[in-house]
A and B are shown apart, each in its own frame.
Chain A
Amino acid sequence: MTRLTDLPPDQARRLAEVECPEFKTRPWVTGPALSQRRVAIVSSAGLVVRGEEPFRGRDPHYHAIPATTRPEDLLCSHISINFDRTGLQEDWNVAFPIDRLRELAADGTIGSMADTHYSFMGATDPLQMEPHARELAGRLKQDNVDSVLLAPV
């Protein structure tokens, strides 16, 4: 588990003290009932579709993951090796819960699931990701997505 007390002291200190940007605004977007929302996953696990170039180092851009991607074609190219990969090896929903979203869309709990999901590589400086994230917002709107589930690793 990731209670910081369970990690090696050096790693816990680095994670707790990682520099975070300070924002001047506090956005809070509201919307319709969950059953009316269209939801996309945005991961920071450095996920790529097999055959694409993996993330290199701290690339600030994102990769698209079509909802039609098969489980055997999703790879994790995050630069950090200090997190568990055995869960993701066994079941992609551990970090990319697309099957759960599909079930929630099928039973009407959410309105629908996006046609495309996305992944960044989370060790990148957030300030470098900013232009890519803002451009991604436009893509999400084109897919009529109004809500995003942010999945770390």
Chain B
Amino acid sequence: MSALGHYLEEEGIATVAIVLIRPQAENTKPPRALWVPFELGRPFGPPNDPAFQKRVVLATLGMLNEGGGPVRIVDFPEDDPRAQPDPAWQPPFVPRTVANGDAESLASRMEAEILLLQGAHRRWMEQHGRSTVGLSGLVIGDCARYVSDWLRGKAPPSPRDGFSAPLILRFAVDDLKAYGLEAAGAGPAKPSSRQLTDWFWNETATGAAIHALREVLQAHEDERLRLIVSNFIVPAARVRAG
């Protein structure tokens, strides 16, 4: 991000960057940057808090007319209030998952769970008017079936022209995660990302199936598939030891 600022400034366009990793900005030395103490993925702070977001945007853009540079890094003083858990949040009901179930059982339970979450996801859509499901280009039931087939030991061909099977597997997993997390966020509570992802990775069949998929395919002969399942389906902080 800071490098992009450097190139654009050299071409005559003024830039100001948000930075989330302060040491990276200190190393790259952008012309102007505002460091924010928020979670990765939320550079402008909490969702659906326009007043807070506007303070971040104004603090950032305000640096365009301040002196003191080049290389000026300012710290934003406020923390993200949505980083705190909401005790009123309740996850949607899903049957309790045995994390170490066999692959066939996990695949079946994931497919059933996606059906079970339809109601909660519909409420999410009514509430927010949007979904970020869609990278794979498959409907969500087909995402579940495609991932299940891999988990069952099949090697299903890519259902989408121009996309390799490993790539569509990655996007199908992205879509399943988005679907489950959106379903979990439906309702009036304001859960933290930690609450939502703890539920997804520790309590759902879909989370357990993605963990299992990573383990099963790490020994696959296709190097690209091994790379994708090792690094791009389970977040590093959620990878189970062993």
Contacts and interface: CB of A to CB of B under 8 A. Distances in A.
A47 to B, nearest CB: 10
Interface in A25-61: 25-31, 33-34, 37, 39, 42, 44, 50, 53-54, 56
A1 B79 contact: yes
Contacts of A130: 3, 7
Given A100-B54, A134-B7, A76 B132 contact: yes
Nearest to A50: B134
Given A1-B79, A20-B24, A27-B31, A97 B53 contact: yes
Interface string A83-106: 111111111111101011101100
B8 A137 contact: yes
B240 interface: no
Nearest to B40: A83
A61 B50 CA distance: 31
Contact of B9 (A29, A86, A103): A29
Interface string B1-19: 1111111111111111111
Interface string B180-203: 011001000000010011000000
B23 A153 contact: no
B80 to A, nearest CB: 6
A64 interface: no
A67 interface: no
B37 A133 contact: no
A120 B70 contact: no
B209 to A, nearest CB: 16
A89 B31 CA distance: 31
Given A2-B21, A81-B234, A87-B193, A28 B167 contact: no
Nearest to B54: A100
Interface of A: 1-4, 7-8, 10-11, 15-16, 18, 20-21, 23, 25-31, 33-34, 37, 39, 42, 44, 50, 53-54, 56, 70-72, 74-77, 79-95, 97, 99-101, 103-104, 109-110, 120, 122, 126, 129-130, 133-134, 136-138, 140-141, 145-153
